[in-house]
């Protein structure tokens, strides 16, 4: 652990994380695993791909996260006619009233925010989807030879509807790899659904109370990088990622059902997400449990099933469960 952190600072930051969970939980009924995954992605400085059928509160989740962290929030509805300039911005010609001199000025697009909700990202064509690539990776936008830095922190949450594929453009692997986690939002329990119906039909939705400011969030993101991970756990995480590649794997489920395994960026994501999970649970060192818990959300969108697996209905969760069982700790 870096010497810049003292126990009092760490304890105070840990309390802020729990306050953030409580703030979002005061608005979102149930879905605690989803809330935790969003917070982990935010703390790790990554982006999240949120997938679920309509009406499960995906937009509310993102909006509540922005409210609880006091970050600027913008939402873009992705449609087939959306252009890259609608995302990153464009240059406009302006004339000075006094000198009559004309010059181009860059007009920022909605990507210049701290929390960007890319709603139904797979409805926009690849040209527009790729407009987010540089922004997500470099935290900057280059237009007409000039680089424009984005605000810090910068957090993209993209949603997808898994049941409607007509008229959509599946995200290419290069785009998917930019997302730290893929978060699946499932149906609530009966009691949770009843509470949701009650809350939304009595006086409207309330805002999530502020739980931390941007300066605190940036300190938490810096602290995540300093969370300890033992060499044996680092090797275990690396072996798990390497075991997703059919040519190098000894896991039968991978050899039989995987068409393409994860690249090195998956190992980086798995370690960062595990560090963020450790911090969220009040620990300053990663455990094997952290790595196991983050394996599915980190690899679900990076490992591609083959045709046989899709035809047989073999879920990625089943493949990764076997991988986790058969790849022994270092």
Q: Which domains does the chain have, with CATH numbers?
A: 1-226 (3.40.50.300), 228-330 (1.10.8.80)
Q: Work out whether the CA dihedral 47, 51, 52, 53 comes out positive or negative.
A: positive
What average pLDDT does this structure show over 200-213?
Answer: 76
Most confident of 10-14, 207-211, 321-325: 321-325
Taking residues 193-215, report their average pLDDT: 77
Tens digits of residue pLDDT in 50-73: 887 776 677 888 888 888 888 999
Mean pLDDT score, 8-26: 83
Q: Which pTM was predicted?
A: 0.87
Q: Are 102 and 141 in contact (CB under 8 A)?
A: no
What is the pLDDT confidence band of residue 272, given thresholds at 50, 70 and 90? very high
* Euclidean distance between CA atoms 293 and 275, whole angstroms: 12
pLDDT band at 98 (very low <50, low <70, confident <90, very high): confident
Average pLDDT over residues 205-229: 86
pLDDT band at 106, cuts 50/70/90?
confident
Crossing angle for the helix pair 264-280 and 7-25, to the nearest 10 degrees: 90
Query: 82 with 40: CB under 8 angstroms?
Result: no
pLDDT of the residue at 267: 93
Token pair, residue 257, equals 């059902």
Q: Please tell me the predicted confidence (pLDDT) of residue 56.
A: 65
In whole angstroms, what is the distance from residue 55 CA to residue 62 CA?
A: 14
Please check the confidence at residue 112 and state whether its pLDDT lies above 80: yes
- Measuring CA to CA, which residue among 225, 231, 222, 228 is closest to residue 284? 228
DSSP state letter for 151: P
CA-to-CA dists, residue 131 to 86, 128, 134, 242, 277, angstroms: 9, 5, 7, 30, 30
Residue 116 φ/ψ, nearest 5 degrees: -115, 120
Q: Rounded CA gap, 59 and 173, in Å?
A: 24
Q: Where are the alpha helices (DSSP H) in 55-159?
A: 58-68, 85-88, 126-129, 131-138
């Amino acid at each position: 652990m870096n010497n810049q952190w003292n126990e009092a600072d760490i304890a105070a930051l840990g309390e802020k994380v729990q306050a953030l969970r409580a703030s979002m939980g005061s608005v979102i009924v149930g879905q605690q695993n989803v809330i935790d995954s969003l917070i982990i992605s935010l703390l790790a400085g990554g982006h999240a791909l949120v997938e679920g059928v309509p009406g499960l509160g995906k937009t509310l989740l993102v909006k509540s996260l922005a409210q609880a962290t006091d970050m600027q929030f913008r939402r873009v509805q992705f449609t087939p006619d959306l252009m890259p300039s609608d995302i990153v911005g464009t240059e406009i010609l302006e004339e000075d009233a006094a000198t009559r001199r004309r010059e181009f000025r860059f007009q920022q697009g909605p990507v210049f925010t701290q929390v960007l909700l890319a709603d139904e990202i797979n409805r926009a064509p690849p040209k527009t989807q790729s407009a987010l690539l540089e922004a997500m990776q470099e935290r900057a936008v280059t237009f007409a030879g000039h680089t424009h830095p984005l605000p810090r922190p910068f957090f993209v949450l993209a949603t997808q509807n898994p049941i409607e594929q007509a008229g959509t453009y599946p995200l290419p692997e290069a785009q998917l790899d930019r997302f730290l986690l893929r978060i699946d939002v499932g149906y609530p329990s009966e009691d949770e659904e009843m509470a949701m119906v009650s809350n939304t039909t009595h006086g409207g939705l309330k805002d999530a109370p502020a739980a931390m400011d941007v300066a605190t969030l940036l300190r938490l993101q810096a602290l995540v990088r300093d969370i300890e991970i033992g060499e044996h756990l680092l090797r275990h995480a690396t072996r798990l990622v390497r075991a997703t590649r059919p040519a190098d794997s000894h896991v039968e489920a991978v050899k039989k059902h995987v068409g393409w395994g994860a690249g090195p960026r998956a190992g980086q994501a798995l370690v960062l997400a595990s560090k963020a999970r450790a911090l969220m649970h009040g620990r300053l060192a990663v455990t094997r449990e952290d790595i196991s818990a983050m394996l599915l959300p980190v690899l679900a969108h990076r490992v591609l099933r083959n045709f046989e697996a899709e035809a047989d209905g073999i879920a990625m969760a089943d493949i990764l469960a076997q991988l986790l069982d058969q790849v022994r700790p270092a």
